[in-house]
Amino acid sequence: MNTVNVAIVGATGAVGTKILEKLLERKFPAKSIKLLASKRSEGIEISAHGQKFIVEETVPESFDGIDIAFFSAGGNISKMFASEAVARGAVVIDNTSAFRMVEDIPLVVPEVNPKSLANHKGIIANPNCSTIQMVTALEPIREKLGLKRVIVSTYQAVSGAGVEAIEELENQSNQFETRATNEAALLPTGAGERFYPIAFNAIPQIDAFDSSGYTLEELKMINETKKIFENKDLHVSATCVRIPVVSGHSESIYFEIDTEGTTVEDLKKLLENAPGIVLQDDPAQQSYPMPLFAEGVDDVFVGRIRKDPDHPTGFHMWVVTDNLLKGAALNSVQIAEHLI
Ligand code: NAP
Ligand code: 3JN
């Protein structure tokens, strides 16, 4: 596969538009790029990097002659069309949760487990955005010092919930006086019965609740992390919260390593030299990662590294990245780059 025919399913969405941008920006060796979405978008023109594309409806025949198909149109569309695309000769890189926990489907973050790509059978899963930035930041530490426990709280941007959620935040943001009663129609989850304003708020629910009391987003972080690190015994727990930020997920991560006697400086050295990571940790200069300044940037930013005062191998860190880039589109395109 030197130059390839590419399709993007969900090309009009928050993630799909970034996949197209990343392919063009990184000069991915594509012979052709086909943009696919629902029938509603058929004929729409999309411009990126000076090139014009016309969106087509997604049908089984869309995948004839396609070598790599990126999917970001929701799990149901992936379940409907991914096997079809593989049967017609494509490798599918799926951004949804449809196949992430299927045993023989690799769940890949190139900085962490690129070797798992070797075993793919046509479908490769891209992890959830919150998982990607967490495992990217933990990997250099896990690799050298081992990892026993992870407890994470997320502060997630609205773009993770799609283009309509960005519009909802924008509409509510100039309605300060009525902030508690502002009209809300989408968050925390379109499938739910109650909606809450996101502007001037923090909503401790992302996706639906499971009978365990965790949300599906939290369970994704827990289960995907264990799969990527190939460690079912790793203790992982998560609390996921939506906040009024457009793009850029932030995470407060508590972790316990295997090795006693490790210092904050030891961790900083590991992170400084790790691929895809920028260490931004200088309290004296008030330097730490923030989502507003991570928007549009590829790196995973790490800061606020501290030793837990009461646990000999416990540490805290603050991790920020653009959820639509390393959290979704960039990671998918990096997977494709590894493939070719
Ligand atoms: P979005 O902005 O709402 O876009 C949804 C996309 O799906 C649009 O392009 C839409 O096309 C397309 N679509 C809807 N129904 C379709 C159909 N019947 N056939 C073909 N395409 C259809 O959502 P998003 O934020 O980009 O997210 C899309 C999906 O990506 C999510 O559902 C999720 O599974 C995944 N995602 C993954 C991550 C991650 O963590 N890696 C993050 C965010 C999202 P129209 O414009 O024609 O409706
Ligand atoms: O809410 C976020 O910040 C990330 C959302 C991801 C998402 C949204 C809708 C459906 C996913 C995902 O990638 O896990 C899915 C899904 O495919 O289940």
pLDDT in tens, 215-237: 999 999 999 999 999 999 999 99
Ligand 2: lining residues by beta carbon, under 6 Å: 74-75, 96-97, 128-129, 156, 160-161, 206, 220, 323
Q: Where are the domains of the chain?
A: 4-126+329-339, 131-322
* Catalytic (active site) residue 316: no
1: pLDDT strictly greater than 60: no
Q: Please state which CATH class domain 131-322 belongs to.
A: alpha beta
Residue by residue, DSSP assigns 22-81 as: HHHHTT--EEEEEEEE-GGGTT-EEEETTEEEE-EE--GGGGTT-SEEEE-S-HHHHHHH
Report the pLDDT value the prediction gives residue 2, as an integer from 0 to 100.
Answer: 60
pLDDT in tens, 150-209: 999 999 999 999 999 999 999 999 999 999 999 999 999 988 899 999 999 999 999 999
Regarding the beta carbon of 40 and ligand 1, being less than 6 Å apart is answered: yes
Amino acid at 203: I
- How far apart CA 76 and CA 62 sit, in angstroms, is 17
Distance 52 CA to ligand 1 centre (A): 21
pLDDT in tens, 325-340: 999 999 999 999 999 9
Regarding the beta carbon of 12 and ligand 1, being less than 6 Å apart is answered: yes
Evaluate the CA torsion angle 102, 85, 67, 62 in order and state its sign. Answer: negative
pLDDT in tens, 86-140: 999 999 999 999 999 999 999 999 999 999 999 899 999 999 999 999 999 999 9
Regarding the beta carbon of 37 and ligand 1, being less than 6 Å apart is answered: yes
* Residue range 265-276: mean pLDDT, rounded: 97
Regarding the beta carbon of 16 and ligand 1, being less than 6 Å apart is answered: yes
Q: Is 114 exposed, middle or buried (0-12, 13-18, 19+ CB in 10 A)?
A: middle
Do β-strands 51-54 and 56-57 pair in parallel, antiparallel, or remain unpaired? unpaired
| Residue 36: strand pairing partners | 9, 56
pLDDT in tens, 281-323: 999 999 999 999 999 999 999 999 999 999 999 999 999 999 9
Q: Determine how many CB atoms are found less than 10 A away from the CB of residue 160.
A: 26
Give the CA distances from residue 161 to residues 15, 124, 156, in Å, rounded to whole numbers and listed in that order: 10, 22, 9
Closest CA to 314 of 133, 140, 156, 141: 141
> Whose CA is closest to atom 31 on ligand 1?
74
- How far apart CA 189 and CA 185 sit, in angstroms, is 9
Per cent of the chain over pLDDT 70 is: 99
- Do the domains at 4-126+329-339 and 131-322 have one common CATH topology? no
| Residue 203: strand pairing partners | 242
Amino acid at 209: F
| Catalytic position from the list 129, 235, 316, 338 | 129
Report the pLDDT value the prediction gives residue 191, as an integer from 0 to 100.
Answer: 87
Q: Please state which CATH class domain 4-126+329-339 belongs to.
A: alpha beta
| Catalytic position from the list 249, 311, 316, 338 | 249
pLDDT in tens, 70-92: 999 999 999 999 999 999 999 99
Residue by residue, DSSP assigns 232-288 as: TT-EEEEEEEE-S-SS-EEEEEEEE-S-TT--HHHHHHHHHTSTTEEE--BGGGTB-
